[in-house]
Amino acid sequence: MNRRAIVVLDVGKTYSKLSLWTVDGRLIERRSRANTVIPGSRYIELDCAAIETWLAAMLAEFAAIADVTAIVPVAHGAAAVLISGESLFAEPMDYEDDGGVLMRPAYDAQRDPFGATGSPALPMGLNLGMQLHRLEALTDGVWPNDLKIVTWPQYWAWRLTGVASVEVSSLGCHSDLWRPIERRYSDLARLRGWATRMAPLRRASEFLGVVSPEWRARTGLHANCQVLCGMHDSNAALFAVLGHPELAGADATILSTGTWFVAMRSPAPGAEVSAAALRADRDCLLNVDVDGRPIPSARFMGGREAELLCGEALGITLASGMDTVEEATQLIEAGIMALPGNVPGVGPFPDGRGGWVGRPPANPKVKRAAVSLYLALMADAALDLLSSLDKVVVAGRFAEDILFVRALATLRRNLEVHLSHLHDDVCYGGLRLFDRDLPPSSPLVRVAPLPVDLDGYRSTWRRHAQQAQREAAT
């Protein structure tokens, strides 16, 4: 039990994951749980208490296995917690709660322009500022003098240490609260007084302190266990992939895949970045990396769409080889394709109506193949919106979908498409916060295109998708 180890806590939208790693990046143990939400009396809440109970039990298991010297929290964006003293003043809101729709016009009138924040006007509570707007109204604007706003990854750092903070990769995640080019809080955040309510701004890699006596008693962790400030999960994937030496100096786009598919273009050194070339109406935005650099990004809810389209068939693993190619070829020749709009309001075609061209496949494996082609077409559209150059690296859960990645390589023959880290990209990003020189655990793998022509299939799909957009606008 003398081996030193690091824990990465990854609180995603769908799952919470805890993993234990050696200091040189080898996995020791992994645990996960499905996240739930609470239908509170005023809004849908993220279930902090259930996550915390699970976290304490898992940390106790890990503390019995190794000497945990550091914990790195990573979490999804568009979430924050209001704290007062040592307690929660308001539970964190689920960004899929749409109860504030009638309040939206008043909020939109105060937002900074997209060119300043790189943050598009998004539905539900996907703009964190909209959540604060609602929380302020629900509490009649009466907030205690000591109230602090902490972003979601930093909430977990605060729970473990008692030290409150915020960090730029979470603030820069379509929050409306941050101006990435100027590296300051938005005019909205200043006008509403939220900027002064933010916990102190800290770097993602900063050690905030050791675990508190309460958590040492609950888990058996040692008094020397440090907790880092932490970061936004998609930016953890970006930070992980940029650790590959082959990407040094390149213009590289990282496609992080999970509930959300987020394409983040890391420009070559010296390249100018602005929001002017991005389409706010097609879910483009500026993210912010852990070093504070603005990162042009485009996204869609690929994992959620795949669940809606496939149901239980989503778990089918598509094998590489002729079977996969034959299934794809049959779909392409028959012109069968899924259309955008399964999660309305987001993605490159936010006004899409969903549905299919041709009869939806009855065979679950064939339907799964059709959805893989659909995800590739959506990712291809996102890369177009970013004018991606040089290299594309697919990371995350859907990097295991061989048909998806090969179809994307077929659609992007002008670029090098690679795979990196599969499930462990977010974890490796967290480990790199602890040790920036940590070498990648596996090399990039170049993806071979399919031996089929997808140009006509893409043209037909885009024509249908664009027609739906035009009809929605009229």
- pLDDT reported for residue 320: 46
The C-alpha atoms of residue 257 and residue 233 are separated, in whole angstroms, by 11
Query: How many structural domains are present in the chain?
Result: 2
- pLDDT reported for residue 442: 85
- pLDDT reported for residue 217: 98
Domain finish residue from 229, 244, 272: 229
- pLDDT reported for residue 271: 84
Token pair 């500022």 in the structure block, residue: 129
Same domain, 248 and 315: yes
- pLDDT reported for residue 319: 46
- Write the CATH number for 455: 3.30.420.40
- pLDDT reported for residue 321: 47
377, β-bridge pairs = none
Cβ(238)–Cβ(172) below 8 Å: no
Same domain, 246 and 177: no
Q: How many residues does the chain have?
A: 474
Domain finish residue from 171, 195, 229: 229
Q: Which residues of the chain have pLDDT under 50?
A: 318-322
Residue 438 burial (C-beta neighbours within 10 Å; 0-12, 13-18, 19+):
middle
Same domain, 47 and 164: yes
Same domain, 290 and 216: no
Same domain, 239 and 220: no
Same domain, 173 and 285: no
Token pair 């935005």 in the structure block, residue: 285
Kind of pairing between the strands at 252-257 and 261-266? antiparallel
Same domain, 208 and 262: no
- pLDDT reported for residue 311: 77
List, for residues 72-119, the tens digit of each pLDDT value.
999 999 999 999 999 999 999 999 999 999 999 999 999 999 999 999
Same domain, 439 and 385: yes
- pLDDT reported for residue 313: 62
Same domain, 400 and 426: yes
- pLDDT reported for residue 272: 85
Same domain, 239 and 257: yes
Same domain, 429 and 325: yes
pTM: 0.86
Same domain, 337 and 406: yes
Token pair 């998004």 in the structure block, residue: 122
Domain finish residue from 213, 229, 245: 229
List of residues 6+ apart from 289 with CB closer than 8 A: 169, 235, 238, 239, 266, 295
Q: Which domain holds residue 172?
A: 4-229
